[in-house]
Amino acid sequence: MKKPKIVFFDYGQTLIDETSFDLMKGIQAVLETAVENPKNVPPKEIADFFGRMLQDINLPTKDFTGMQYIEVPDPMMQEYLFRFFGLRPVKSSREIEWMFWNRTKTSKPSPGITDVLAFLRENGIRTGVISNTPITEEILAKSLKKLIPENSFDLIVTSSETIFRKPHPRIFQYALQRAGLPASEAVHCGDNPMCDIEGASAAGIFPVWYKGCCTVAENIRPKCKHLAIQSWRELKDKISRISETQK
């Protein structure tokens, strides 16, 4: 690893510690304030249907065993779900997206993330986000501003707006193209051994496996060269040592 010109971060369990997900809360919030429900479809029926819909969307593919690599954006899922049940939106797609995102998740910044972002900024290292998510870049940016007000990411890349999900190399290549940098000048930090670590490595980006909020089974390890860290201080220390040797 050499001193990077940009550090990319995954969102969930990397930048942000997502401690719970409650689909029913999101569905109920949308039914109560964002759509008309002329057929009085029960929230549980919609939630169960949506859960099965997500399972179908996430079916594994032959190229990435166990992984979905094409993203279906939230606005498309809204359209399908609302038309299927005869629901009539009274708020915009973005308003519904924001409401659903906030009601379903309990989230907080990962420990020490504000310090490492400030450290990178002070040392002239750019930052970006590469996230597998059906929500739009606009909503993810809004969520990051709410949770980490001090953030100033140079770019945010979501699979919902780039078609491809990690570990597919196209999403990493897209982020590099937007950053105007070669893969050798970038680092990608994430919690998922396949999506974040092996995916970044395959795209030529040096991967950092952040395990501080990790939910991956202990017996799963990335099958590529990487830096494993338990805290963001370890990344700061590593970059500081590299910077000293390059002076």
What would the DSSP string read from start to end of 9-47? Answer: E-TBTTTEEEEEE-HHHHHHHHHHHTEE-TT---HHHHH
Is residue 197 included in any domain, yes or no?
yes
CATH code, domain with 153: 3.40.50.1000
Domain ends where: 105, 129, 162? 105
Residues 138 and 219 occupy one common structural domain: yes
Domain ends where: 47, 75, 105? 105
Which residues lie closer than 8 Å to 59 by C-beta, 6 or more apart?
68
Count: domains in the chain: 2
Asked if 170 and 164 count as a contact pair (C-beta separation under 8 A), the reply is yes
Domain ends where: 105, 132, 150? 105
Query: Taking the CA of residue 79 as centre, how many other CA atoms within 13 Å lie in the half-sphere pointing to its CB?
Result: 5
Residue type, 88: R
Per-residue pLDDT of the chain (247 residues; tens, 9 = 90+): 899 999 999 999 999 999 999 999 999 999 999 999 999 999 999 999 999 998 888 876 655 566 778 899 999 999 999 999 999 999 999 999 999 999 999 999 999 999 999 999 999 999 999 999 999 999 999 999 999 999 999 999 999 999 999 999 999 999 999 999 999 999 999 999 999 999 999 999 999 999 999 877 778 899 999 999 999 999 999 999 998 887 6
Q: Which residue matches tokens 């750019």?
A: 126
38: cis peptide before it, omega within 30°?
no
Q: What is the pTM of this model?
A: 0.95
Is residue 33 included in any domain, yes or no?
yes
For the chain, the maximum distance between any two Cα atoms, rounded to a whole number of angstroms, is 69
Q: What is the CA radius of gyration of the chain?
A: 19
Write down the pLDDT at residue 245: 84
Alpha helical stretches, state H, the chain: 23-33, 43-57, 74-85, 93-104, 113-122, 137-147, 159-162, 169-179, 199-202, 232-245
For residue 36, give its domain range: 20-105
